[in-house]
Amino acid sequence: MAKDEANASDFCKGLLQSEELYEYILETSVYPREPELLKELRNITLNHPKALMATAPDAGQFIGMLLNLVNAKNTIEVGVYTGYSLLLTALTIPEDGKVIAIDVNRDFYDIGLPVIKKAGVEHKIDFRESKALPLLDELLTNKANEGGFDFAFVDADKLNYWNYHERLMRLIKVGGIIVYDNTLWGGSVVKPDSSVPEWMIQVKKATLELNKKLSADERLQISQAVFGDGITICRRLY
Ligand code: SAM
Ligand code: CA
């Protein structure tokens, strides 16, 4: 197997000691409790050429718990793809909750939309086809949006995470949560560049930088957790 292929396959495996252990967690604790329509969306997505982009179901389950713990009502989703994390958010927030869902590509969203409609939660979703940065800036032009959100899940355009962070720190209320996905970037953060596939290097560097900055950000309580490809949970303290 070529070096790049070997590393790409590592990337899909999750970050535990073995694939078997990851399967064990999924089969024991995640899949039995995964809502049927989320399962349906996950299975539809499996056949898509970019299926690797979908949020890992174990990470999804944890995000659902966080949403409940902070009683999230208004949320922001940066990076929708076919909508796994979006659907789980829409299923979790209350009837009058709203998720602003941002993605540059509406075609991906349209793949999952029939399932979202079937779940009866489309009315909670405000989908915006846009790059995330200008959209977050647009939200900030309305003073009422400052501190107006309880939760954000960031899973797009890794090179811009820190730029999103500065905006989200104004949009999320004190006590609210921002979750960043892929903060271990396939484990590459501890590998020498020579053993990391070329396509992962730039994001590896950005991720190392982000992790350092999040750790140093005194406005936050943080926890970096080994779900999926690594997620960092940030709670705004002030
Ligand atoms: N959270 C999603 C899920 O549960 O399936 C996965 C998101 S996927 C990893 C990343 C998505 O970000 C893609 O759908 C891509 O079109 C979108 N994207 C890429 N660059 C973007 C940008 N600058 N602004 C907004 N969305 C972007
Ligand atoms: Ca991701």
* Ligand 1 atom closest to the CA of 82, numbered from 1: 5
186: left (phi over 0), alpha (psi -120 to 50) or beta: left
Dist. CA 156 → ligand 1 center (Å)? 4
Read off the pLDDT of each residue in 106-133 and give the average, rounded to a whole number. 98
* Pocket of ligand 1 from Cβ distances under 6 Å: 53-55, 79-82, 84-85, 102-105, 108, 131-132, 155-157
14-23, 66-75, 149-158, 171-180: which has the minimum mean pLDDT?
14-23
Closest alpha carbon to 117 in 108, 107, 125, 105: 125
CA gap 168, 175 in Å, rounded: 13
Give the distance (Å) from ligand 2 centre to CA of residue 197. Answer: 18
């966080």: which residue's tokens?
A: 66
| Cα dihedral: 57, 94, 74, 67 (round 10) | -40
pLDDT band at 102 (very low <50, low <70, confident <90, very high): very high
Nearest alpha-carbon partner for 149 in 178, 128, 122 = 178
Name the domain count of the chain. Answer: 1
Residue to probe by mutation, ligand 1, list 155, 229, 231, most atoms within 8 Å of CB: 155
- Among the bound ligands, the one closest to the CA of 78: 1
Structure tokens, 161: 């995470």
Is residue 87's pLDDT more than 50?
yes
Mean pLDDT of the region 16-22: 84
| Span 45-71, pLDDT tens digits | 999 999 999 999 999 999 999 999 999
Q: What is the pTM of this model?
A: 0.94
List, as one string, the DSSP characters of 106-145. Answer: HHHHHHHHHHHHHTT-GGGEEEEES-HHHHHHHHHTSGGG
pLDDT band at 183 (very low <50, low <70, confident <90, very high): very high
Q: For residue 222, give the 3-state DSSP assignment.
A: strand
Alpha carbon nearest to ligand 1 atom 23, residue: 131
Tell me which residue has tokens 């355009």: 157
Most informative mutation of 43, 58, 105, 153 for ligand 1 (most atoms within 8 A of CB):
105
- The percent of residues above 90 in pLDDT, for the chain, comes to 89
Q: In the predicted model, is pLDDT for residue 3 greater than 60?
A: no
Q: What is the pLDDT of residue 4?
A: 43
Local confidence band at 13 (pLDDT 50, 70, 90 cut-offs) = low
Q: 74-78 and 125-129: which strand pairing?
A: unpaired
What is the mean predicted confidence (pLDDT) over 202-218?
98
Q: Which residues constitute the domain of residue 49?
A: 3-236
- Report the CATH number that the domain containing residue 206 is assigned in CATH: 3.40.50.150
Ligand closest in space to the Cα of 60? 1
Q: Considering only CA atoms, which residue is closest to atom 20 of ligand 1?
A: 157
Q: How confident is the model at residue 14 (pLDDT cuts 50, 70, 90)?
A: low
Q: What is the mean pLDDT of the chain?
A: 93
Ligand nearest, relative to CA of residue 81: 1
CA 83 to chain centre: 10
Query: Quick one: which of 89, 88, 58 has its CA closest to 72?
Result: 89
Q: What is the DSSP letter of 54?
A: S
CA 153 to ligand 1: nearest atom: 1
The verdict on ipTM greater than 0.95 is: yes
For 113, phi and psi rounded to 5 degrees? -55, -40
Confidence of residue 184 (pLDDT cuts 50, 70, 90): very high
> Considering Cα of 63, then 80, then 233, then 70, what sign does the dihedral take?
negative
